[in-house]
Structure 1
Amino acid sequence: MSRQGPVPGEIYIEFHPVGQQVKVTAIDASTGIEVVVIGPSKAASADLKNLAVRKLLRRIEREAPPAAPSPARGRVV
């Protein structure tokens, strides 16, 4: 089965050991936004993954365009 493109909400995670540390990269598939966290190599990988995902979601929220006003409410000028 071939895929047409990235699935909305899909996140790619990469772990890269660097000495006593681990560099964790999280990438949002649909926007291409990427964040990196670095933690101790002895930390649980699930904790580092959760940290990277939370950081990514926060960055996506921050970079999202402001919501358009609802047509039902109208716009106050």
Structure 2
Amino acid sequence: MAAREVLFEFRQIGAYVKVSAIDAATATEVSIVGDASAGTARLKQTALRKLEYVLAKQQPPGR
């Protein structure tokens, strides 16, 4: 996958953090909820993997 600009938003909700990842080119947004103790890097990585999965599903077959 080519390098893309991805924006991240973190919102703490009690013991959990909601992380939103937004692809700047397509405005596709995904969210995950994880344990706040998991750490920013791990939560960010999980949200990015989900975003990549969703973007790949949106591609036409054969690409």
Point out where structure 2 has 5 or more consecutive residues left out of the alignment.
none
Please identify which structure carries the higher helix content: 2
1:12 matched to 2:7? The reply is yes
Quote the residue 1:61 is aligned against.
56
Query: Mean alpha-carbon deviation: is it higher for 58-67 or for 39-48?
Result: 58-67
Shift of the alpha carbon at 1:65? 2.1
Quote the residue 2:35 is aligned against.
40
Identity %: 41
Q: 1:29 aligns with which of 21, 24, 27?
A: 24
The number of equivalent residue pairs is: 61
Please identify which structure carries the higher strand content: 2
Q: Secondary structure at the match of 1:24?
A: strand
Partners of 2:30 and 2:55 lie apart in 1 by 10
RMSD: 1.4
Q: Which has the larger radius of gyration?
A: 1
The residue type equivalent to 1:25 in the other structure is S
Runs of 4+ in 1 over 4 A off after TM superposition: none
Query: Mean alpha-carbon deviation: is it higher for 59-68 or for 38-47?
Result: 59-68
Point out where structure 1 has 5 or more consecutive residues left out of the alignment.
1-7, 69-77
TM-score by length of 1: 0.73
> Which structure is higher in RCO with an 8 Å CA cutoff and minimum separation 6?
2
Shift of the alpha carbon at 1:54? 0.5
